Amino acid sequence: MDFEDLEPLVRLKRLGPAKVYVGRMAGWPKGDLKEGARWMLRALRSGLDGGFFWDTQGHFDPIWDRMRRFGSIEYLEDLLAGRLPPVRMRDTLRIHDLTVDRYNPWNAY
């Protein structure tokens, strides 16, 4: 299906109570967050329920912190208008009793 044309998906959604989510991550230029935000905003405004992303494990960077909020029209509008604060990054060194990057015999199996 041509994902540039959302009308077939909108017609499908009108047939019943099912929710329709679109996915387009592979088609966006890598690192072009605003292009993705424009596309998702268009999908939400057309009446679709949201979107999904394949291979999210490849997005552990500041871009994923933004993309995971793409279900909100207000958030997308703020992102495109440049009204969002910068992403804060921090190193995770411990998770409860586990020190990251160190072997903990207690958690061995």
pLDDT of the residue at 85:
78
Cβ proximity of 41 and 76 under 8 Å: yes
Domain range list for the chain: 7-107
User: Nearest Cα to 53, choosing from 37, 77, 74?
Assistant: 37
Q: Please, are residues 33 and 67 in contact by the beta-carbon 8 Å criterion?
A: yes
Mean pLDDT, residues 85-94 taken together = 73
How buried is residue 70: exposed, middle or buried, by Cβ count under 10 Å (0-12/13-18/19+)? buried
Digit-coded pLDDT (tens) for 6-27: 888 899 899 999 898 887 655 5
Banded pLDDT at 31 (limits 50, 70, 90): low
At residue 29, the pLDDT reads: 60
Is the predicted pLDDT of residue 82 greater than 60, yes or no? Answer: yes
CA 28, CA 36: separation in Å to the nearest integer? 6
Q: Residues 42-69: pLDDT tens digits? A: 889 999 998 877 666 665 566 777 888 8
> Residue 1: pLDDT band by 50, 70, 90 thresholds?
very low
Residue bearing the bigger pLDDT, 69 or 73? 73
Q: Tell me the average pLDDT across 70-99.
A: 83
